[in-house]
């Protein structure tokens, strides 16, 4: 445990930096189900945050709102000082239009549980599509960068393969390369190993560890891999019944927490 | 032997209508495809007015018979508005195109909606605009799913072209009718040959439909 702590220190983020993301009393309901009941959260540049908690506690919903896949029922999400879901119009705050949302979410990337690769494109094309069409970058430069990125995740020999020709672990590594070539400042991971066969989990975690150690982007990982969270996270959030029930360093939450719900969650978790 | 010489005599007569049948088929199929994409995309758009208006068009044209629509364009429009839709050829092509365009627009709409939601989400996560998502991600996958149904409906369009004989177009069926009226005893044989010609015409589309099914299977599983 103690060397884990020093590991963390090395990566840890100075608290004086301005947060890149702020959740201000964010609530989310689906119909009558109040899933999130007031989330306040700050993400600093480069910070690695693990989100844990029981199934249905709203972990996925928290990061989906930041990726603009789900609209908050109330509250604000601020990214780089700009309100993600609202914009100013004639001196009033109104619901943001697509143009505003695209401007604000440009620094955010996400990796999904089920990969969501584009099946009609090769894995190289998967990586190249967005930099070329969204960021209007030079095609040759994007190709070079995409190839480097695919090599980095260990798929440099499969550039012309289609997703259907790859294993789950390989698909997920492509999905990470695809997100990385966009050079996001914040990467969101939603249980990216839980759809994988157990023997493929390791290779995907290795890539995440590599990103965490060598890239300076902020990362938010929703995960059931406690050991892994303990290892790489600067901060762990324990989500329960729609609120952040506990937060702190990995050791504070996963090892030393006196919170009963955290303990029973971890106990149940170890049994499973 | 008598039959064979009859076949040899009848077939060239019928084939005089081949040009009309094929030109009506190609033109109405192209119109139907274009209408299908325009209407299908309108049906999935966020624009309520566009969406509802297209919905009315689709239901009206699917809910009434092609032959009545054809007669309506042919007889009613000139009487009501004093305009011709151009020649009989154009009237036939527009009627068939609009009718099958309505059916095919439902194929377009259904295929777009059938693309996995995760695809849209991944595209959003890459900050694509609505338009980019449709053009780069959704449509290429949806089109693969559409191919078999487009093939099936094209075969139906080919069969429907025979209706233009009712508004005086000289297609294959028209020549069949002419020959039967002058030579009633040959009617069974004449219509067998007519059927056979239509079947031959359908063959390439049947083949393309099969091919489309294989492509559709290959293209969309991730
Ligand atoms: N689109 C939706 N419509 C209705 N209810 C939803 C929707 N998305 C999520 N929910 C509900 O919101 C709650 C929180 O969902 P969420 O997916 O955020 O939980 P989670 O913590 O990620 O759970 P898990 O560990 O199972 O992934 C659940 O009760 C879920 O049923
Ligand atoms: Mg989840």
* Distance separating alpha carbons of residues A251 and A263, to the nearest angstrom: 13
Specify whether the CB–CB gap between B143 and B175 falls below 8 A. Answer: no
On whether residue B182 sits in a domain, the answer given is: yes
Range of lowest pLDDT (A175-189, B5-19, B191-205, B206-220): B206-220
* Ligand 1 contact via A57 beta carbon (within 6 Å): yes
How close A86 comes to chain B (CA, Å)? Answer: 17
- The verdict on residue B137 lying in a domain is yes
Residue A66: pLDDT over 90: yes
Kindly state the tokens that stand for A37.
């009941």
Question: What ipTM did this prediction achieve?
Answer: 0.91
In a domain, B200, yes or no: yes
Per-residue pLDDT at B110 exceeds 60: yes
Half-sphere exposure of A108 (CA within 13 A, CB side): 30
Name the pTM for this structure.
0.88
Q: Give one DSSP letter per residue of B131-178, joined into a string.
A: HHIIIIIIHHHHHHHHHHHHHHHHHHHHHHGGGGGGGT---HHHHHHH
End-to-end CA distance of chain B: 59
What is the count of structural domains for chain B? 1
In the prediction, which pLDDT does B175 show? 92
pLDDT confidence bin for A250, thresholds 50/70/90: confident
The lowest-confidence range among B111-115, B141-145, B217-221 is: B217-221
Residues 6+ apart with CB under 8 A from B38: B105
Taking an 8 Å cut-off on Cβ atoms, the answer to whether A116 and B136 are in contact is no
For residue B72, is it within any domain?
yes
Question: How does pLDDT run across B74-95, given as a tens digit for each residue?
Answer: 888 888 887 776 788 999 999 9
- Tell me, what's the pLDDT at A5? 44
- C-alpha distances (whole Å) from B152 to each of A67, B29, B58 are 41, 12, 19
Q: What is the full DSSP assignment across chain A?
A: -HHHHHHHHHHPPPTTSPPSEEEEEEEEEETTEEEEEEEEEEE-TT-EEEEE-STTSSHHHHHHHHTTSS--SEEEEEETTEESSEEEETTEEEE--HHHHHHHHTTEEEE-TT----TTS-HHHHHHHHHHHTS---HHHHHHHHHHHHHHTT-TT-TT--GGGS-HHHHHHHHHHHHHTT--SEEEEESTTTTS-HHHHHHHHHHHHHHHHH---EEEEE-S-HHHHHHH-SEEEEEETTEEEEEE-HHHHHTS---HHHHHHHHHHHH-
The radius of gyration of chain A from alpha carbons, rounded to an integer in Å, stands at: 19
- The residues, any chain, with a CB within 8 Å of residue A2's CB and separated by 6 or more, are none
User: CB distance from A136 to chain B under 8 Å?
Assistant: no
CA distance B140 to B131: 13
Answer yes or no: is B91 within a domain. Answer: yes
**Backbone phi, psi, residue A233, to 5°:** -85, 135
In sign, the C-alpha dihedral spanning A100, A103, A108, A111 is positive
B3's enclosing H/E stretch is: helix B2-15
Residue B50 domain-assigned (yes or no):
yes
Let me know if A36 is exposed, middle or buried by CB neighbors in 10 A (0-12, 13-18, 19+): buried
Size of chain B in residues: 222
Kindly report, residue by residue over A13-52, the tens digit of the pLDDT: 555 678 999 999 999 999 999 999 999 999 999 999 999 9
State the CATH number of the domain containing residue B12.
1.10.3720.10
Q: What is the pLDDT of residue A16?
A: 61
Domain that holds residue B31: 2-217
- Residue among A102, A117, A171 whose CB faces B127 most closely: A102
What is the spatial distance between Cα A141 and Cα A48, in angstroms, rounded to a whole number?
A: 29
B189 within some domain: yes
Contacts of B29 (CB under 8 A, 6+ apart): B97, B100, B154, B157
The separation between CA A262 and the C-alpha centre of its own chain, rounded to angstroms, equals 22
Contact B116 A115 (CB under 8 A): no
CA-to-CA distance for A94 and A75, rounded, in angstroms?
13
Domains of chain A: 21-267 (3.40.50.300)
Which of A68-72, A158-162, A188-192, B80-84 is predicted least confidently? B80-84
pLDDT of residue A6: 43
Residue with the smallest CA separation from ligand 1 atom 5 is A30
Nearest by CB: B118 against A112, A164, A171 = A112
pLDDT for A2:
42
Q: Is B222 inside any structural domain?
A: no
> How many CB atoms within 10 Å of residue A180?
24
Q: For a substitution probing ligand 1, which of A50, A56, A67 has the most ligand atoms within 8 Å of its CB?
A: A56
Choose the weakest-confidence range: A158-162, B55-59, B215-219: B215-219
* Mutation probe of ligand 1 site: the residue of A31, A33, A62, A272 with most atoms within 8 A of C-beta: A33
């Amino acid at each position: 445990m103690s060397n884990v702590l020093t590991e963390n220190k090395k990566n840890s983020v100075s608290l004086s930096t301005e947060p890149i993301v702020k959740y201000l009393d964010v609530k989310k309901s689906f119909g009558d189900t109040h899933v999130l009941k007031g989330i306040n959260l700050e993400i600093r540049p480069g910070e690695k945050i693990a989100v844990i908690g029981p199934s249905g506690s709203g972990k996925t919903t928290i990061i989906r709102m930041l990726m603009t896949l789900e609209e908050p029922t109330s509250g604000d999400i601020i990214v780089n000082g700009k309100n993600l879901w609202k914009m100013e119009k004639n001196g009033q705050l109104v619901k943001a239009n697509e143009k505003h949302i695209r401007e604000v979410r440009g620094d955010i990337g996400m990796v999904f549980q089920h990969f969501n690769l584009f099946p009609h494109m090769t894995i190289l094309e998967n990586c190249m599509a967005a930099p070329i069409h969204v960021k209007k970058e030079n095609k040759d430069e994007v190709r070079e960068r995409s190839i480097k990125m695919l090599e980095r995740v260990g798929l440099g020999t499969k550039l012309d393969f289609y997703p259907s020709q790859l294993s789950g672990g390989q698909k997920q590594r492509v999905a990470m390369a695809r997100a990385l070539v966009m050079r996001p400042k914040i990467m969101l991971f939603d249980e990216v190993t839980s759809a994988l066969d157990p023997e493929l989990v390791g290779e995907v975690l290795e890539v995440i560890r590599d990103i965490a150690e060598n890239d300076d982007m902020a990362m938010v990982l929703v995960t059931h891999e406690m050991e892994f969270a303990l290892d790489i996270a600067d901060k762990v959030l324990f989500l329960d019944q729609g609120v952040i029930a506990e937060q702190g360093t990995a050791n504070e939450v996963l090892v030393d927490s006196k919170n009963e719900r955290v303990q029973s969650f971890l106990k149940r978790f170890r049994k499973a | 032997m008598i039959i064979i010489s009859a076949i040899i005599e009848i077939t060239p007569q019928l084939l005089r209508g081949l040009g009309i049948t094929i030109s009506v088929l190609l033109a109405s199929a192209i119109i139907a495809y274009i209408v299908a994409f325009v209407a299908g995309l309108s049906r999935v758009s966020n624009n309520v007015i566009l969406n509802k208006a297209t919905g009315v068009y689709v239901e009206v044209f699917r809910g009434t018979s092609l032959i009545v629509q054809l007669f309506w364009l042919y007889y009613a429009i000139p009487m009501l508005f004093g305009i011709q839709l151009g020649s009989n050829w154009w009237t036939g092509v527009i009627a068939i195109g609009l009718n099958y365009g309505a059916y095919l627009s439902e194929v377009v709409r259904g295929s777009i909606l059938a693309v996995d939601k995760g695809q849209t989400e991944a595209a959003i996560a890459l900050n694509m605009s609505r338009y980019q998502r449709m053009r780069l991600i959704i449509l290429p996958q949806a089109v693969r799913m559409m191919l078999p149904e487009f093939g099936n409906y094209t075969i139906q369009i080919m069969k429907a072209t025979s209706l233009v004989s009712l508004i005086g177009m000289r297609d294959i069926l028209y020549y069949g009718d002419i020959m039967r009226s002058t030579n009633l005893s040959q009617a069974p044989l004449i219509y067998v040959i007519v059927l056979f010609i239509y079947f031959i015409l359908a063959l390439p589309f049947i083949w393309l439909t099969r091919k489309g099914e294989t492509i559709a299977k290959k293209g969309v599983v991730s």
